[in-house]
């Protein structure tokens, strides 16, 4: 379905808006599919799952909060709050640095590792289905285009920070 039809836009879309709207709407669909087929069933949020994946792939000593934050998909995530919730669920443990709370290391617990091992295959299957309508060539081309857009947005953000 065309973007204008789906969003019920009667007028022509201004240059530049169509790509932004298409990306945002596609992100909404991907998020909803993952939420309904993976995260709600597992009893966690997408951002909590992101923290667990980061920790699973990280060093055995764990990560500092700031190290987790820079690896997050949603860069504005409240990582300390996410870690607190995962701690309450017994999935991660905080190893405090008595001199600096920001220096505490976060690690997966045995329960967190087991949980991650249980949810990861389901997540992987759903992710494989998400781009199942694309050929390998289309998928690779889309990834190249999305990388180009991300590089462009990073430049826009860094220019705005000056």
**Range with lowest mean pLDDT among 22-26, 29-33, 93-97, 120-124:** 93-97
pLDDT digits (tens, 9 = 90+) for 85-97: 999 999 999 998 7
Class of domain 17-130: mainly alpha
Q: Judge whether residue 39 has pLDDT over 90.
A: yes
Delimit the domains of the chain by residue range. Answer: 17-130
**What is the pTM for the complete model shown?**
0.86
Alpha helices in the chain (DSSP H): 3-6, 17-34, 40-42, 46-56, 65-69, 79-88, 110-130, 136-160
């Amino acid at each position: 379905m065309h973007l204008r039809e789906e969003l019920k836009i009667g007028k022509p879309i201004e240059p530049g808006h169509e790509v932004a709207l298409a990306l945002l709407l596609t992100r909404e669909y991907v998020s909803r599919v993952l939420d309904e087929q993976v995260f709600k069933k597992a009893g966690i949020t997408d951002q909590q799952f992101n923290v667990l994946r980061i920790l699973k792939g990280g060093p055995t000593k764990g990560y500092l909060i700031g190290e987790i934050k820079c690896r997050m998909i949603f860069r504005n995530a409240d990582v300390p709050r996410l870690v607190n919730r995962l701690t309450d669920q017994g999935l991660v443990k905080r190893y405090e640095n008595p001199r600096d709370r920001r220096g505490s290391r976060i690690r997966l617990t045995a329960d967190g590792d087991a949980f991650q091992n249980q949810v990861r295959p389901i997540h992987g299957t759903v992710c494989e289905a998400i781009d199942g309508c694309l050929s390998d060539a289309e998928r690779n081309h889309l990834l190249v285009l999305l990388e180009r857009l991300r590089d462009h947005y990073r430049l826009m953000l860094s220019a705005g920070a000056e």
